Amino acid sequence: MSAALEVKHTDEIISVNPATGAEVGRVPRVSPGDVRGTVERSRAAFSSWKNTSFAARRALVMRAREVILSEMDEIAHLISAESGKPFGEAIAMEIAPVLDLMQYFARNAEKMLRPARIGIGLYALLGRSSKIVYHPLGVVGIIPAWNYPLSIPLGETAMALMAGNSVVIKPSELTPLVGLKIGEIFEKAGAPRDLVQVVTGDGRTGAALVDAAPEKIMFTGSVATGKKIAEAAAKNLTSVVLELGGKDPMIVFEDANLELAAGAAVWGAFCNAGQSCSSVERLYVQEGAAEKLTEKIVEMTRNLVQGSGENENVSIGAMSSEKQLRIVENHVEDFKKQGAKIEIGGHKSEALDGLFYEPTVITGAKNEMLAMQEETFGPTLPIATFKTEDEAVRLANDSEFGLTASVWTRDLAKGKRVAEKIEAGSVCVNEVLYTHGIGQTPWGGFKNSGRGRTHGREGLMELVQPQHIHINNLAVLPDAWWLPYSPEAVKTFRGFAKYFASGSVVKTTRLLPQLWKRIRELRKR
């Protein structure tokens, strides 16, 4: 592959179209010193933004949506040019879902973050009450991957702003112009100065952002980088959300609608050229349905047009980097060496210049094979078989990852039962891959697929700090546990342990005479 397709290590980054090798644009590699300055300015912007009303925050996010809608095609072309994905896919899988997420949090964050009373059991009988108030964190640093260069960082930005935070984004070095576009969208929407800033660069710029000690890091990328970030963030006790890799299984039972399952497998494995963290990377089909399902999958795969993402008839675009393409080549070679069979595909696309790999269907895959354990992140669909429900669950869970999974069956009770046994953050029954697009639901992984959540209520809670406000509404008597201690105090404490801590009002009434004695003792001193 020509050197033009590599990221050049100069003080600027040249962004190239992986389908053509053509330069898309150049951006600076922001130095650590400048990153620190950016975070300081962000903190200043936060000091005003945190005091804004939800109505003002909502207005900004809704205006940003309008900017996106008015520039939809231009933005989709930019995503396609930098990442290689089909233009239509950029709209369907990035722009539409993030617009939905933005309107949802713009309209609902206030309700979700409303101060809430908490039940405090028997303490309430002592005249106490408690509520939770949610405060913004401060500067949120967002470090995304290149595969959904708009929707992931933009969705996190919108949520962070609704929660009252300021944002600094360090986009992937493969898709920096899409990252800058996010800053431009908020500028056009009238965001206050420095509220949403973008620092372009590679891993070093990302590391500088972590070192600059923002209040939170939202990271999306590989397990290896996730570990480095967790370690670096620990120095400042910066909390991190890590959205990492996947090796997502799809389980197809004999009683499934095989036509639908085949279509889902083909889309789930090959959309975005297989470069989704929730791509179908392993398909387990029950023996009796294996032949029929494989035939359908191969037939559908044969009809897919591959090429430049600009062409609206293209279903499979280019891969985003040469490094990624090499991983796919190595994994397919490993499948061949280990005795699996390539049903269709299996090569870099010779007919096309650029970073294209043919959509590839493999049968006879076994969990012991390297490419059934390591994340491939490319257009491959390895198929393995199973006999029983238990075996399917065991095979699906035999992985260091646990991001998403899907179960296909007409028996919904079985589907739900199996789904709950799968170790993954999001499991679909008769659906596949797309739950990141439902901004209302939590997103995140089990095992090495990540820590923490983005999206949904759980994701919003990552972007605030809860504060407990506790009120003694009576405040006329001293508390029985105050100093000084005495034999009367110890008797009372025993009563607390035996009666009050039981949670039972009836039992606690037995403590009342002793409690009163102790309080009188305290009042006399």
The catalytic residue positions are 243, 277
Instruction: Kindly indicate which of the ranges 128-136, 185-193, 388-396, 443-451 contains the residues binding ligand NAD, using the contact rule CB under 6 A.
Output: 443-451
**CA angle centred on 350, ends 344 and 355, rounded to 5°:** 95
Asked if residue 95 binds ligand NAD (CB under 6 A), the reply is no
Asked if residue 155 binds ligand NAD (CB under 6 A), the reply is no
Amino acid identity of residue 66, one-letter, is E
Task: Please provide the distance, in angstroms rounded to a whole number, between the alpha carbons at the two ends of the chain.
Answer: 86
The footprint of ligand NAD on residues 447-466 (CB under 6 A) is 449-450
**94 φ, ψ (degrees, to nearest 5):** -120, -60
Q: Is residue 367 within a helix (H) or strand (E), and if so which, with residue range?
A: none
Asked if residue 173 binds ligand NAD (CB under 6 A), the reply is yes
The footprint of ligand NAD on residues 375-404 (CB under 6 A) is 375, 377, 403
The footprint of ligand NAD on residues 399-438 (CB under 6 A) is 403
Residue from 15, 17, 20, 225 in contact with ligand NAD (CB under 6 A): 225
Provide the 3-class DSSP secondary structure of residue 385: strand
Asked if residue 229 binds ligand NAD (CB under 6 A), the reply is yes
Amino acid identity of residue 427, one-letter, is V
Q: Which residue is nearest to ligand NAD (CB)?
A: 206
Beta bridge partners of 140: 167, 216
CB of 207 to ligand NAD, least distance (A): 4
Provide the 3-class DSSP secondary structure of residue 134: strand
Question: Do 240 and 229 meet the contact criterion of CB atoms below 8 Å apart?
Answer: yes
Instruction: Kindly indicate which of the ranges 77-85, 142-150, 342-350, 386-394 contains the residues binding ligand NAD, using the contact rule CB under 6 A.
Output: 142-150
Of 67 and 240, which CB lies nearer to ligand NAD in the complex structure? Answer: 240
Asked if residue 228 binds ligand NAD (CB under 6 A), the reply is yes
Asked if residue 478 binds ligand NAD (CB under 6 A), the reply is no
Of 343 and 374, which CB lies nearer to ligand NAD in the complex structure? Answer: 374
Residue 293 burial (CB < 10 Å; 0-12/13-18/19+)?
Answer: buried
Instruction: Kindly indicate which of the ranges 118-126, 141-149, 341-349, 467-475 contains the residues binding ligand NAD, using the contact rule CB under 6 A.
Output: 141-149
Question: Do 321 and 147 meet the contact criterion of CB atoms below 8 Å apart?
Answer: no
Instruction: Kindly indicate which of the ranges 160-168, 244-252, 329-337, 482-490 contains the residues binding ligand NAD, using the contact rule CB under 6 A.
Output: 244-252
Q: How far from 516 is each of 125, 490, 511, CA to CA, in Å?
A: 14, 14, 9
Instruction: Kindly indicate which of the ranges 94-102, 238-246, 285-293, 297-305 contains the residues binding ligand NAD, using the contact rule CB under 6 A.
Output: 238-246
Asked if residue 343 binds ligand NAD (CB under 6 A), the reply is no
Asked if residue 245 binds ligand NAD (CB under 6 A), the reply is yes
Cα(115)–Cα(489) distance, rounded to whole angstroms? 36
Asked if residue 145 binds ligand NAD (CB under 6 A), the reply is yes
Half-sphere exposure of 23 (CA within 13 A, CB side): 9
Residue from 102, 218, 240, 277 in contact with ligand NAD (CB under 6 A): 277
Of 94 and 343, which CB lies nearer to ligand NAD in the complex structure? Answer: 94
CB of 127 to ligand NAD, least distance (A): 47
Cα(199)–Cα(180) distance, rounded to whole angstroms? 8
**304 φ, ψ (degrees, to nearest 5):** -80, 135
Instruction: Kindly indicate which of the ranges 15-23, 126-134, 240-248, 386-394 contains the residues binding ligand NAD, using the contact rule CB under 6 A.
Output: 240-248
Of 39 and 522, which CB lies nearer to ligand NAD in the complex structure? Answer: 39
Q: Token digits for 195?
A: 């509220």
Residue from 49, 146, 186, 500 in contact with ligand NAD (CB under 6 A): 146
**Alpha-helix residue ranges (DSSP H) falling in 275-321:** 287-302
Q: Which residues touch 251 (CB under 8 Å, ≥6 apart)?
A: 284, 386, 392, 393, 396, 405, 406, 407, 408, 418, 422
Cα(385)–Cα(288) distance, rounded to whole angstroms? 9
Of 143 and 393, which CB lies nearer to ligand NAD in the complex structure? Answer: 143
The footprint of ligand NAD on residues 14-43 (CB under 6 A) is none
Of 214 and 246, which CB lies nearer to ligand NAD in the complex structure? Answer: 246
Candidates 289, 297, 282; CA nearest to 253 is 289
List b or e across 472-497, with b for residues whose CB sees 16 or more CB atoms inside 10 angstroms. Answer: eeeeeeeebeeeeeeebbeebbebee
CB of 449 to ligand NAD, least distance (A): 6
Asked if residue 147 binds ligand NAD (CB under 6 A), the reply is yes
Tokens 């994994």 locate to 331
Residue from 246, 268, 354, 452 in contact with ligand NAD (CB under 6 A): 246
Q: Token digits for 265?
A: 């497998």
Asked if residue 207 binds ligand NAD (CB under 6 A), the reply is yes
Asked if residue 206 binds ligand NAD (CB under 6 A), the reply is yes
Q: Token digits for 342?
A: 């390539």
Tokens 């804004």 locate to 52
Of 43 and 247, which CB lies nearer to ligand NAD in the complex structure? Answer: 247
Cα(202)–Cα(365) distance, rounded to whole angstroms? 36
Per CB under 6 A, residues contacting ligand NAD are 143-148, 170, 172-173, 202-203, 206-207, 210, 220-222, 225, 228-229, 243-246, 277, 375, 377, 403, 445, 449-450
